[in-house]
Amino acid sequence: MEPEWKGAEKKRPGGENKAPQTPEGESPVLEWFYPSRGQSFSIGLTISLVVLTFGIIRDGGIGWMTTWWLWLFIVPWPFITLLAGRNTRMAAGADWLRYGKNGFISTYELTSVKVATEGASRVLQLNDADGRRLSAQLNDLQRNRELWDLVYNGILHSVRGNGAETNKLARTLLDLDNPLRFRGE
pLDDT at 36: 64
Number of independent structural domains in the chain = 2
Full domain range(s) for residue 71: 37-84
Confidence class of residue 183 from pLDDT cuts 50, 70 and 90?
low
Q: Say yes or no: 115 and 176 in one domain.
A: yes
The predicted pLDDT at position 114 comes to: 96
For residue 28, being part of any structural domain is answered with no
Query: Is residue 178 a part of any domain in this protein?
Result: yes
Is residue 16 domain-resident? no
Closest C-alpha to 12, from 43, 37, 34: 34
Least-confidence region, from 7-21, 27-41, 168-182: 7-21
Let me know whether 104 and 175 are in one domain: yes
Residue 25 confidence class, pLDDT cut points 50, 70, 90: confident
Residue 27 included in any domain: no
For the chain, give the mean pLDDT: 81
**Residue 166's pLDDT is what?**
95
- One domain for residues 53 and 100: no
pLDDT at 125: 95
Question: pLDDT tens-digit profile of 101-154?
Answer: 767 899 999 999 999 998 878 999 999 999 999 998 898 888 889 999 999 999
63 and 101 assigned to the same domain: no
* Same domain membership, residue 152 and residue 113: yes
pLDDT digit string (tens) for 76-91?
888 777 676 556 788 8
For residue 2, the model assigns a pLDDT of 46
Question: Which of the two residues, 92 and 13, has the higher pLDDT score?
Answer: 92
Is residue 117 exposed (0-12), middle (13-18) or buried (19+ Cβ within 10 Å)? Answer: exposed
Do 63 and 96 sit in the same domain of this protein?
no
Instruction: Tell me: do 105 and 166 sit in the same domain.
Output: yes
The residue among 39 and 128 whose pLDDT is bigger is 128
SS3 per-residue string spanning the chain:
CCCCCCCHHHHCCCHHHCCCCCCCCCCCCCEEECCCHHHHHHHHHHHHHHHHHHHHHHHCCCHHHHCHHHHHHCCCHHHHHHHHHCCCCEEECCCEEEECCCCEEEHHHEEEEEEEEECCEEEEEEEECCCCEEEEEHHHHCCCHHHHHHHHHHHHHHHHHCCCEECHHHHHHCCCCCHHHHCCC
- Give pLDDT tens digits for 150-160: 999 999 999 99
Whether 151 is in a domain gets the answer yes
Q: Is residue 7 part of a domain?
A: no
Residue 83: Cβ within 10 Å count: 12
Pair 137, 108 in one domain:
yes
Same domain, 60 and 105: no
Whole-model pTM over 0.75 = no
> How much is the pLDDT for 124?
94
The answer to whether residue 40 scores a pLDDT higher than 90 is no
Query: Are residues 71 and 149 part of one domain?
Result: no
13 lies in a domain?
no
